[in-house]
Amino acid sequence: MTVSSGAIIFYSDQVIPANERLDRRFLEMVNKDKPKLAYIPSASDGTRKYYIEKCEYYKKYGIDDLLYFDLNKEYDPSLIDELLACDAIHLSGGDPFQFLGSIRKRKFGPRLKKYHEKGGILLGISAGAIVLTPSINISHVFYKSRTDQHQAAGLVNFHFLPHLNQREGRLEDVKRFSIENQATVYACNDGDGMVIRDGKIELVGDVVRIENGQICQ
C-alpha cells in the first residue's frame, strides 16, 4: 500500500457522474497506475451481476484487478491475505442488515479496522458505509429491523445516512433519531460523500450534519 495512513470514503451511491469527485480523491490517495481493489458484496452475488458491473465501472480508471471476496455463501478464508494486501476495499451497497450479519458472522469488523489502521483505503457505498459506523440503527428510521444485533464495525463515531435526496420528507425522523441516540448524523445526497483521513472529515457536495435534532452549519 502506498498511503501513509488509512482513509475511508463514504458514498451515497456510485452511479451518477457526480461521484467522480470521490473517485478522484481515492485515486489521488492510492497514487498508483494499477491499484488492486477488493470487492466485498453486501450479499452473495452468485451470478456476479453486480461484481461485473463494478469491474466495468473501475475499468474507466484503468483498474482491472478486482478481487471478489464474499463474506456469505462463498466465504473463502484462504483469500484473506490477498484481500488485506489490496490498495483499497470496496464495500458494496445493498442490504445493511444482511451485510452486517455477514460481517459479524465472520468477525470481520476488527479485520477491516486493522486494515484501515495499517494504511488501507475503505470505499463504503450506501450500506457499505453504514456498516462501518457505530451501528446500523439509522436504517431503522426507514426499515423494520431484521436483526437484534445492531452494533457495526465502529470505524467512525458518527452515523451515515445515504440517499437524502430520496428521503427529504423524513428529515424530522432523522432529527429525532439524533436526539434519541445522542448521535451525529451526516446525511448525504446521491453523488455526494465524505472523505475521512487522519481524523479529519472532508465533505464532498451538499452533506448535512445533524446533531441534537438540529441541522448544523
The residue to which cell 488509512 is assigned: 6
Side-by-side strand order, sheet with 37-40 = 66-68, 37-40, 88-91, 121-125, 7-11, 193-197, 200-204
Q: Where are the domains of the chain?
A: 7-216
| Cβ atoms of 11 and 57 closer than 8 Å | no
CA distance 176 to 188: 17
- Contacts of residue 124, defined as CB under 8 A and 6 or more positions apart, other chains included, come to 8, 9, 10, 11, 91, 130, 131, 132, 160
What's the grid cell of residue 186?
Answer: 451526516
pLDDT of residue 150: 74
| Cβ atoms of 166 and 13 closer than 8 Å | no
What's the grid cell of residue 36?
Answer: 488492486
pLDDT in tens, 81-129: 999 999 999 999 999 999 999 999 999 999 999 999 999 999 999 999 9
| DSSP three-state, residue 112 | helix
- Picking from 83, 88, 127, 86, the residue whose alpha carbon sits closest to that of residue 108 is 83
CA distance 204 to 129: 15
CA distance 212 to 142: 19
pLDDT in tens, 48-80: 999 999 999 999 999 998 999 999 999 999 999
| DSSP three-state, residue 28 | helix
The CATH architecture that domain 7-216 belongs to is 3-Layer(aba) Sandwich (3.40)
Report the predicted TM-score, pTM, of the whole model to 2 decimal places: 0.94
CA distance 206 to 175: 17
pLDDT in tens, 150-208: 789 999 999 999 999 988 788 899 999 999 999 999 999 999 999 999 889 999 999 99
The residue to which cell 457499505 is assigned: 128
